[in-house]
Amino acid sequence: MRRGNDTPISEFILLGFSEEPALQPLIFGLFLSMYLITVLGNLLIVLAVTSDSHLHTPMYFFLSNLSLVDICFTSTTVPKMLVNILTQSRVITYAGCITQIYFFLLFAGLDDFLLAVMAYDRYVAICHPLHYMVIMNSRLSGLLVLMSWIVGALNSLLQSLIVLRLSFSMDLEIPHFFCELKLVIQLACSENFLNNMVMYFVVVLLGGGPLTGIFYSYSKIVSSIQGIPSAQGKYKAFSTCASHLSAVSLFYGTFLGVYLSSAATHSSPSAAASVMYAVVTPMLNPFIYSLRNKDIKRALRRIYGMAGTKGTIILR
């Protein structure tokens, strides 16, 4: 919260991807396109789930929550970067940086927890199909989402608050397109041991815990599928969780790839690599869950048909 000479700091500088003026329109157009696709795609998933009574099940309840979180996750970082490009400014206020850290950690954690909850939902559906609606009732579904929000909010609040205790030197340039927690901590000129310990502890606990739950759920799912006698039955059981597996692989693969590679090379996470889990993954999730899902495609066609009918009536 203060410079090394006890002067209050007011802003950080986000270096972004490139300082070349000629590349700014290209970067702006690319990220604006990805952001609009992300928002539109995830809103369509939410609209499809809420408008079709056949999709009022725990699986699609969790999917609609994941889509909302993905919209918020991308909105935490991309709009600010687009505004900075338009205004030809790389500044983010100190308060804005702390706020961005808070919401980025919140929605990244929610993505993590919801993917684990969805894995548990698939485990119950495949391994205990006769008791699915009894186990995954609306009360438990709501409680799982609520607990995800509570734990995510407490984690992001803790990590944001302990950043406030840090002092910073004159060099306040962040080599990224958003206030990435690890990079902000590295800029501190005061003792940051506590921040690093909390950050790594949370990664192991809140990152490794859900991932372990996902692995356990799918180990049980694979065992259950192997016990199905017919090949058609095996394919049908596997197809119900193929989209979720793709989303899990994309999120964890890109996230772990960025941070494990930076840890191995003792470098900071690069802005270009971070785009994969912060922007590309939320953009691709609607396609993953709609292209292989007949129920979602049917609901989207119904929405499209209703929109077309209303448009014809208005024109007449």
pLDDT at 171 over 90: no
Instruction: Give residue 8's pLDDT band: very low, low, confident or very high (50, 70, 90).
Output: low
Q: How confident is residue 269, by pLDDT bands cut at 50, 70 and 90?
A: low
- Which pLDDT band, with edges at 50, 70 and 90, does 258 fall under? confident
- Say what the pLDDT of residue 121 is: 95
Give the other-Cβ count within 10 Å of 86's Cβ.
11
Position 4 scores a pLDDT of 54
pLDDT higher at 6 or 244: 244
2-315 carries CATH number 1.20.1070.10: yes
Cα 119 to Cα 111: distance, rounded to the nearest angstrom: 12
Mean pLDDT, residues 12-21 taken together = 86
Q: Is the pLDDT of residue 315 over 50?
A: no
Average of per-residue pLDDT across 100-110: 96
Task: Specify the residue for token string 């910073």.
Answer: 168
80: pLDDT strictly greater than 90: yes
Share of the chain above pLDDT 70, in %: 90
pLDDT level of residue 243 (50, 70, 90 thresholds): confident
User: How many angstroms separate the first and last alpha carbons of the chain?
Assistant: 61
Residue 308 CA to residue 137 CA, distance in Å, equals 36
Please report which confidence band the pLDDT of residue 72 belongs to, taking 50, 70 and 90 as the band edges: very high
- Minimum mean pLDDT among 19-33, 191-205, 245-259: which range? 245-259
Global pTM reads 0.90
Mean pLDDT of 91-106: 94
Q: Specify the pLDDT at position 35.
A: 97
Write down the mean pLDDT value for the chain: 86
- Which pLDDT score is estimated for 159? 94
Q: SS3 for the chain, per residue?
A: CEECCCCECCEEEECCCCCCHHHHHHHHHHHHHHHHHHHHHHHHHHHHHHHCHHHCCHHHHHHHHHHHHHHHHHHCCHHHHHHHHHHCCCEEEHHHHHHHHHHHHHHHHHHHHHHHHHHHHHHHHHHCHHHHHHHCCHHHHHHHHHHHHHHHHHHHHHHHHHHCCCEECCCCEECCCCCCHHHHHHHECCCCHHHHHHHHHHHHHHHHHHHHHHHHHHHHHHHHHHCCCCHHHHHHHHHHHHHHHHHHHHHHHHHHHHHHHHHHCCCCCCHHHHHHHHHHHHHHHHHHHHHCCHHHHHHHHHHHHHHHHHHHHHHC
Question: Taking the domains of the chain in order of start, what are their residue ranges?
Answer: 2-315
Mean of pLDDT values over 254-269: 66
